[in-house]
Structure 1
Amino acid sequence: MVWAVRKKALLFTSSAVALSLAAGSAFAGGFALREQSSYYQGTSFAGNATSGPSVSSMFWNPAAITGVGEGFTFEAHNSFILPQAELNGTNTVLGTTLPVSTGDIGSDAWVGATYTTYRVNDDVVFGLGVNAPFGLSTKVENPNWAGAGYNRSSKVFSINVNPVVAYQFNDMISVAAGLQFQYVSVRLTNSAAAPGVFNASTTLQGDGLGYGVTAGLTLKPFKGTELGVGYRSAVGVDLDGNAFLPAGVPGRLAPGSYGITTSLVTPDMITVSAKQDITEDVRLLATFEWANWSRLKTPKIDEDTVGQISELPFNYDDGYFLALGAEYDWNDKLTLRAGGAYEWSPINETIRSARLPDNDRIWASLGASYKFNKHMSFDLGYTHIFGTDTNLNVGPGHQDYSATKGSLVADVDSSVDIFSASMRMSF
């Protein structure tokens, strides 16, 4: 029925910025992009909410920018994500079992971020971060693969502008707060039913703007010890756009383009980091992150002419991330770093779908910084991410299941390499 097709298309609207493991395991659980700093890429983001040479820590904790020196500091970060992902299994629809072998469906991606700070005086520092905190780009080479009813292609673009102000009470305590202005654009396609039943695509596109806040605290209770706590609030985005229904699908809605609206609320995120000097040249780093994904319950779906037509259950768990790392100052110009992390995904097998085959991940990273002179420095980071065993089982009782799209059962094999580089200028 077209109503069912519409419901599925609108489902994709609500999950518009959801990132899949297949799109790139580099991404944080759910639909967050973690690649916001070449400096902390080298430690698997251990210590990312503490202060240091890089002001990119303001993404996780705006108070960390009080570690900056006099005048202006500008940083440009570039991360290149090279994912490999493949689904292998079967899809059974209307009594026929079809093989599933997608080939590599991951899309290489570039993620950029910039940060600017200005120290007004001994107490006050202004900062501005421009980031892409959410994003997705996947495409199956064969648009009529057996699971096309659940995913053909996905494109999501986001940009977040985050002005902040930090206040340094003394050498021990700093606090900060900021605003978030976030834009999201989405374009998603999938088959109206399983190939062989109906091959035409439904297409959805829309965009919206949302607002939120950030806040943070740094504490240096002893010489050589620093603790940082940062908060990024939920951002509610009202997505306005349209969905296209192809001809030939029976139902209560005629073929054509329909206006749609839905509300997507990104999760709150709390980051806690520690940095401890071991010697003058060696530092240990740690980070724990909690993301409130369980707040995504049942977004309401509205079609412009008929009003609310459904409620969509996400049923996510919360997401967690734990990273440990270390830095070593080889000399006055060169610093080496390394780190590892484990990430607990908010998505489990009971809700995992072809558009979101997300699972837990293991991170391993190396990095370095080189101080060219007192005004210019460079950072490099590399990460390899191992995807843990992942099963996809979209069948009766699953929230994404459709009888006309079939029972999709598959293994997801994935890994990701990330190369990151940045330049920092102070004047």
Structure 2
Amino acid sequence: MTGGNRYLAATCLTALLFTSGEALAGAFALREQSAAFQGLSFAGYGTASNTISTIFWNPATVTAHDGLKAESVNSFILPNGDVDTNSVTVGGIPLGLIPGAATGEIGDVGVNAWLPGSYGTYQYNDQIYLGFAVNAPYGLSTKPNIISAGQIYARSSEVLSVNATPMVGVKLNEMFSFAIGLQAQYFQVRLKSASGISTTSSTVELRGEDNVGFGGTAGLLITPLQGTQIGIGYRSPIRHDLDGQLKVGASSQNINADLVLPEQVNVSIQQEVTPELRLMGTFEWTNWSRFGNFNVFNQSGIVLPQAALGFQYSDGYFLSFGAEYDFDEHVDGLTVRAGLGYEWSPISEKDRSIRLPDTNRVWVSAGASYEYNENLSFDLGYSHLFAESDDINIGPGHPAYNGVVIYQGDVEASVDIISAAFRYKF
């Protein structure tokens, strides 16, 4: 590599640090980190591919890329989540019988979002490979109507994360590779609700942020036979010490809360059927059950029960299958793909809320890649998520229940996702 190319490469890799802007999306955990695997419903995302975005799930795939490469991914998330109110009672009295009470519809809580991601890989020698990723692995933006029958439980919700992960991979031989990495993650949360049921109720806002929380990532890539790959990836839990404010109307006080975001394990397989056709699959487990109740403390270290963060999620699971085909005989450099997946949400009726009315969902995806020349390639992926209709029942036993207002409703949701990426080999 010439001195000029080294300088250009270093400049592009450095730029990756600054091109991932703030991202919010209509789900708490964000899977949309790859345009190529978006078109496969993320089947096989932990195995080696032309895209280097696989290092997000399995850093060992960094060993499949020679030279120096950079990739930029941009996903556009278009959610729809209609929440209909069935009944609301306050101390046993129907909301509609209380003078001045807000009885409006909650409406569509989904907010459109842009989710960027950036990647870089560098082959140091025949055995050592370096990688770097900047992503937003967690995000949430929901916004019900401000004046609504459910306002005491949610007016808006925002979660932001920015994660930088340097990693190193070792290629032991043609069969085994492994890698480890360090996660450095910024996390911010802003939750708003109404102070009461009246149409004139003020807004209660809980805002917290953590400078940086740390975790790890690790992966293994196995090639037992030519054309067969097995990838195993791990992303560790990350603890965030959130400092912020609790605002009620014009008054505010400093608060502190500790959150632990869950670890994830994924297993992927890729099987070459012919030189042009590949079949893929992925199973993913996320330990959301560690995401239970989190106390909020004031600056004197006293617990604020009215601000407690209650979730009580269950574990989350994801399963997908897909296939891709190279159309080199017809269009040189063109690959098409499709995938089908099913996601078991960690949220069920026992803890589903207006803030995050998540349900189980079916993924249907398609996409394509085009290799413009030996250096520049493009990916495009599309998914439609069919979310199952389900109920919201906030009452005794629900982690968000305030002891007074019982809310019952239902949610119907769907999501469209479009992802595009380009990558360059120096």
Fold equivalence (TM over 0.5):
yes
Alpha-carbon distance between aligned partners in 2 of 1:296 and 1:189, rounded to the nearest angstrom: 20
Alpha-carbon distance between aligned partners in 2 of 1:397 and 1:194, rounded to the nearest angstrom: 21
Structure 1 residue 293 corresponds to structure 2 residue 291 = no
The 5-angstrom pairing of residues 103-182 of structure 1 reads 103-140=107-144, 142-182=145-185
User: Residue in 1 aligned with 2:395?
Assistant: 395
Structure 1 residue 424 corresponds to structure 2 residue 423 = yes
Q: Deviations over 1:122-149 (max 9, x none)?
A: 1111000000111111222x31111000
Q: Is the 8 A contact 1:145 1:195 kept in 2?
A: no
Local SS of the residue matching 1:265:
strand
Alpha-carbon distance between aligned partners in 2 of 1:417 and 1:319, rounded to the nearest angstrom: 21
User: Residue in 2 aligned with 1:241?
Assistant: 244
User: Residue in 2 aligned with 1:358?
Assistant: 358
User: Residue in 1 aligned with 2:303?
Assistant: 308
User: Residue in 2 aligned with 1:333?
Assistant: 333
User: Residue in 2 aligned with 1:7?
Assistant: none
Alpha-carbon distance between aligned partners in 2 of 1:110 and 1:371, rounded to the nearest angstrom: 25
Q: Which moved more, 1:111-120 or 1:151-160?
A: 151-160
Local SS of the residue matching 1:279:
coil
Instruction: Give the aligned residue type for 1:344.
Output: W
Q: Is the 8 A contact 2:368 2:381 kept in 1?
A: yes
Q: Is the 8 A contact 2:138 2:160 kept in 1?
A: yes
User: Residue in 1 aligned with 2:82?
Assistant: 86
Alpha-carbon distance between aligned partners in 2 of 1:61 and 1:195, rounded to the nearest angstrom: 50
Q: Is the 8 A contact 2:129 2:168 kept in 1?
A: yes
What is the CA distance between 1:403 and its match in structure 2? 4.5
Q: Is the 8 A contact 1:47 1:287 kept in 2?
A: yes
Q: CA RMSD in A?
A: 1.6
User: Residue in 1 aligned with 2:273?
Assistant: 278
Alpha-carbon distance between aligned partners in 2 of 1:344 and 1:139, rounded to the nearest angstrom: 24
Instruction: Give the aligned residue type for 1:246.
Output: G
Q: Deviations over 1:12-45 (max 9, x none)?
A: xxxxxxx9xxx63xx4xxx211010001000000
Structure 1 residue 183 corresponds to structure 2 residue 186 = yes
Q: Residue 199 of structure 1: which of 179, 198, 201 is its match?
A: 201
The 5-angstrom pairing of residues 40-119 of structure 1 reads 40-69=37-66, 71-89=67-85, 90-94=87-91, 95-98=93-96, 101-119=105-123
What is the CA distance between 1:306 and its match in structure 2? 4.6
What is the CA distance between 1:398 and its match in structure 2? 2.1
What is the CA distance between 1:374 and its match in structure 2? 0.2
User: Residue in 1 aligned with 2:11?
Assistant: none
Q: Deviations over 1:197-223 (max 9, x none)?
A: x61101121210200000000000001
Alpha-carbon distance between aligned partners in 2 of 1:195 and 1:278, rounded to the nearest angstrom: 63
User: Residue in 1 aligned with 2:382?
Assistant: 382
Local SS of the residue matching 1:129:
strand
The 5-angstrom pairing of residues 199-218 of structure 1 reads 199-208=201-210, 209-218=212-221
Q: Which runs of 5+ in 2 are unaligned?
A: 1-23, 97-102
Alpha-carbon distance between aligned partners in 1 of 2:43 and 2:34, rounded to the nearest angstrom: 11
Instruction: Give the aligned residue type for 1:77.
Output: V
What is the CA distance between 1:397 and its match in structure 2? 3.1
Q: Deviations over 1:323-377 (max 9, x none)?
A: 0000000114000000010001111111111112111111000010000000000
Local SS of the residue matching 2:41:
coil
User: Residue in 2 aligned with 1:373?
Assistant: 373
TM normalised by structure 1 equals 0.88
Structure 1 residue 324 corresponds to structure 2 residue 321 = yes
Alpha-carbon distance between aligned partners in 1 of 2:297 and 2:320, rounded to the nearest angstrom: 41
Q: Which runs of 5+ in 1 are unaligned?
A: 1-18, 248-255
Alpha-carbon distance between aligned partners in 2 of 1:297 and 1:144, rounded to the nearest angstrom: 29
Alpha-carbon distance between aligned partners in 2 of 1:125 and 1:212, rounded to the nearest angstrom: 20
User: Residue in 2 aligned with 1:14?
Assistant: none
What is the CA distance between 1:103 and its match in structure 2? 2.4
Q: Which moved more, 1:214-223 or 1:354-363?
A: 354-363
Local SS of the residue matching 1:58:
helix
Alpha-carbon distance between aligned partners in 1 of 2:52 and 2:393, rounded to the nearest angstrom: 43
Q: Is the 8 A contact 2:310 2:400 kept in 1?
A: no
Local SS of the residue matching 1:63:
helix
What is the CA distance between 1:100 and its match in structure 2? 5.6
Structure 1 residue 413 corresponds to structure 2 residue 400 = no
Instruction: Give the aligned residue type for 1:96.
Output: P
Local SS of the residue matching 2:366:
strand
Q: Is the 8 A contact 1:281 1:328 kept in 2?
A: yes
Count of aligned residue pairs for this structure pair: 389
Alpha-carbon distance between aligned partners in 1 of 2:94 and 2:359, rounded to the nearest angstrom: 29
Alpha-carbon distance between aligned partners in 2 of 1:280 and 1:342, rounded to the nearest angstrom: 28
Q: Which portions of structure 1, spanning 4 or more consecutive aligned residues, are displaced by more than 6 angstroms?
A: none
Q: Is the 8 A contact 1:88 1:100 kept in 2?
A: no
User: Residue in 1 aligned with 2:21?
Assistant: none
Alpha-carbon distance between aligned partners in 2 of 1:202 and 1:320, rounded to the nearest angstrom: 34
What is the CA distance between 1:423 and its match in structure 2? 0.3
User: Residue in 2 aligned with 1:3?
Assistant: none
Larger relative contact order (C-alpha < 8 A, sep ≥ 6)?
1
Instruction: Give the aligned residue type for 2:119.
Output: Y
Local SS of the residue matching 2:262:
coil
Percentage of identical aligned residues: 47
Alpha-carbon distance between aligned partners in 1 of 2:79 and 2:119, rounded to the nearest angstrom: 26
